């Protein structure tokens, strides 16, 4: 049988066709626009997601035996607010995960309702990207739209609804809404009250590998697929990427270098850190995970390369980099504010340490190292919880860079396992569809049989020592700059 994985990203939807043995048959990508109506705002039209997903599926299955397509599932950008009216029509463009407009609402949630209460209700505190403060923003700033709301959804769930007619979500993606009681895997009545919504406005909850429905007749006809195709709930992009890299079960780790950057640690036990610096979320395998999320990772490199120095030759620029662990230039990668572990929407990208002999390659190196150092910040929080890691998987666009992988290995002092497929969320989505269709009995079995490690980047003890000294300097820069960020935020 064949399975479709849909990775609904921030810049494009990537679709993957996988056979029952886990072999990737074809990959298709379709882009859509992103809108920035005001500084720090970030929006997309859900209708664009659906149109491009439909076009992508048509292209994906062209030339394949369509009768063999058994299931579809998703990995999707998390936290985005999609609101539908009584006719299930989109009310306004979706507020995305990297939208920073909700600082007032976050301040209310964290400091008036209180972080301890939020952690009690949801296992997390409020971040500007989360869905609950977005709901409050619409309530406060667009009351006419708030009054129209009948359904609240996440990005990938809008696609699932359009395909099946079912209002659904999964536990991993719902964990990032600040509306889910993560420990008990149910909606939080207290958070619904705080946001002024009713629980029936929220979608039905499923495990990521559960079937939520089958293709609607008109959708099946438009795609040339059977109405018996199962649609599984899918997962938030990071949980789906973890499935796609085999980061399931107890004590596994994955680092994602995508638009955002994450360090993802799977666990069969629920846990939360004292300061909520890491997110405590449900996982797509039916268990839990801790995650540190930085808002700008590979996007920092893209910004530096394309917008600042004006080149698309990423590899050529990295060839000029020498002297790892010896760079005197540092970069704070907070171009969209920052989430883990600082939770500061006012944080900004910052270069420091330049001198008259600083070269272009030093600046490029600083950008790559800055992202790795910021991931190390979240790893340090995990260590404080008694979590001991020796290795990690890696995925995302940034993982295609041998140099960046070497930096990650030595700055975090972890063995970095490179897997055969770097398709993360899309592959994870296809694997979840395969589990929903009975191809595998559970997510762990699917991961064990499909995910293959093809290379490992080992830390170099001498380089680890050099980078340790650099990290100790790096971690002093943000506290020193924080008061300035508050001054220059406008």
Q: Which among 435, 400, 176, 156 has a CA at the least distance from the CA of 281? A: 176
> Which residues lie across from 27 on neighbouring strands?
16
* Per-residue tokens: 324: 């790892």
pLDDT at 274: 84
DSSP H helical segments within 23-168, as ranges? 46-61, 103-107, 115-122, 131-141, 143-146, 155-164
Binding site listing for substrate = 78-79
DSSP string, 214-279: E--HHHHHHHT--TT-EEE--EEHHHHHHHHTT--SSS-EEEEESSSEEEEEEESS----TT--SE
d(C-alpha 302, C-alpha 292), whole Å = 21
pLDDT at 416: 98
Angle between helix 461-488 and 402-412 (nearest 10): 90
pLDDT at 396: 84
pLDDT at 39: 86
Type and span of the H or E element at 490:
none
Q: Which among 200, 205, 186, 210 has a CA at the least distance from the CA of 152? A: 200
Please check whether residue 409 is in contact with residue 463, taking contact to mean a CB–CB distance below 8 angstroms.
Answer: no
Q: How many CB atoms lie within 10 A of CB 387?
A: 17
pLDDT at 423: 83
Q: Which CATH architecture has domain 2-238?
A: 2-Layer Sandwich (3.30)
Please check whether residue 277 is in contact with residue 387, taking contact to mean a CB–CB distance below 8 angstroms.
Answer: no
pLDDT at 490: 61
pLDDT at 424: 83
**DSSP classification of residue 335:** B
Three-class DSSP category at 332: strand
- Give the active site residues: 237
- This prediction has a pTM of 0.89
Is the torsion defined by CA of 83, 86, 89, 92 positive or negative? negative
Residues whose CB is less than 8 angstroms from the CB of residue 97 and which lie 6 or more positions away in sequence, other chains included: 10, 42, 77, 78, 79, 80, 129, 176, 260
Q: How far is CA 167 from the centre of its chain?
A: 21
256: left (phi over 0), alpha (psi -120 to 50) or beta: beta
Buried b (16+ CB within 10 A) or exposed e, 123-159: bbbbbbbbbbbbbbbbbeeeeeebebbbbbbbbbbbb
| Tens digit of pLDDT at every position of the chain (490 positions) | 999 999 999 999 999 999 999 999 999 999 999 999 998 899 999 999 999 999 999 999 999 999 999 999 999 999 999 999 999 999 999 999 989 899 999 999 999 999 999 999 999 999 988 999 999 999 999 999 999 999 999 999 999 999 999 999 999 999 999 999 999 999 999 999 999 999 999 999 999 999 999 999 999 999 999 999 999 999 999 899 999 999 999 989 999 998 889 999 999 999 888 888 899 999 999 999 999 999 999 999 999 999 999 999 999 999 999 999 999 999 999 998 998 999 898 999 999 999 999 999 999 999 999 999 999 999 999 999 888 999 999 988 899 999 999 999 999 999 999 999 878 899 999 999 999 999 999 999 999 999 999 999 999 999 999 999 999 999 999 999 999 998 987 6
* Per-residue tokens: 411: 């700055």
* Per-residue tokens: 182: 């993560």
d(C-alpha 140, C-alpha 65), whole Å = 51
Q: How far is CA 96 from the centre of its chain?
A: 11
* 261-267 and 288-294 beta bridge pairing: antiparallel
Buried b (16+ CB within 10 A) or exposed e, 274-296: eebbbbbbbbbbbbbbbbbbbbb
pLDDT at 386: 87
d(C-alpha 50, C-alpha 155), whole Å = 10
d(C-alpha 194, C-alpha 215), whole Å = 35
> Which residues lie across from 204 on neighbouring strands?
168
Environment class of residue 375 by beta-carbon count within 10 Å: exposed (0-12), middle (13-18) or buried (19+)?
A: buried
């Amino acid at each position: 049988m064949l399975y479709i994985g849909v990775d609904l990203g921030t810049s494009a939807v990537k679709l993957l066709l996988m056979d029952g043995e886990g072999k990737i048959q074809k990959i298709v990508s379709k882009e859509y626009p992103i809108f920035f109506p005001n500084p720090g705002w970030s929006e997309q039209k859900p209708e664009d997601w659906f149109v491009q997903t439909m076009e992508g599926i048509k292209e994906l299955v062209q030339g394949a035996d369509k009768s063999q397509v058994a299931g579809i599932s998703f990995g999707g950008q998390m936290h985005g607010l999609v609101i539908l009216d009584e006719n299930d029509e989109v009310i306004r463009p979706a507020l995305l995960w990297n939208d920073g407009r909700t600082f007032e609402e976050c301040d209310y949630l964290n400091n008036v309702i209180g972080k301890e209460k939020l952690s009690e209700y949801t296992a997390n505190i409020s971040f500007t990207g989360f869905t609950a403060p977005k709901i409050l923003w619409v309530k406060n700033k667009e009351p006419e739209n708030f009054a129209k709301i009948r359904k609240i959804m996440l990005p990938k769930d809008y696609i699932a609804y359009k395909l099946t007619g079912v209002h659904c979500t999964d536990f991993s993606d719902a964990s990032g809404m600040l509306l889910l009681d993560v420990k008990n895997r149910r909606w939080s009545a207290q958070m619904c009250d705080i946001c002024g919504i009713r629980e029936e406005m929220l979608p039905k909850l499923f495990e990521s590998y559960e079937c939520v429905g089958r293709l609607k007749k008109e959708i099946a006809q438009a795609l040339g697929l059977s109405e018996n195709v199962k649609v599984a709930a899918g997962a938030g992009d990071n949980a789906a990427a973890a499935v796609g890299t085999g980061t399931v079960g107890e004590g596994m780790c994955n680092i994602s270098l995508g638009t955002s950057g994450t360090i993802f640690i799977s666990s069969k036990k629920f846990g939360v850190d004292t300061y909520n610096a890491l997110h405590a979320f449900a996982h797509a395998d039916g268990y839990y995970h801790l995650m540190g999320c930085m808002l700008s990772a590979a996007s920092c490199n893209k910004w530096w390369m394309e917008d600042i120095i004006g080149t698309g030759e990423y590899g050529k620029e990295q060839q000029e980099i020498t002297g790892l662990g010896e760079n005197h230039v540092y970069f704070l990668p907070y171009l969209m504010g920052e989430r883990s572990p600082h939770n500061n929407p006012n944080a900004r990208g910052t270069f420091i340490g330049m001198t008259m002999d600083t070269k272009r390659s030093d600046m490029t190196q600083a950008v790559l190292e800055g992202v790795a150092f910021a991931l190390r910040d979240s790893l340090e929080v995990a260590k404080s919880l008694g979590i001991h890691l020796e290795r990690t998987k890696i995925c995302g666009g940034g993982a295609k860079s041998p140099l960046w992988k070497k930096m990650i290995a030595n700055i975090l002092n972890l063995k970095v396992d490179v897997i055969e497929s770097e398709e993360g969320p899309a592959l994870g989505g296809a694997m979840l569809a395969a589990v929903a269709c009975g191809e595998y009995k559970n997510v762990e079995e699917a991961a064990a049989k499909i995910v293959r490690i093809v290379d490992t980047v080992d830390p170099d003890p001498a380089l680890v020592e050099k980078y340790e000294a650099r990290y100790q300097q790096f971690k002093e820069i943000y506290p020193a700059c924080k008061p300035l960020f508050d001054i220059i935020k406008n």
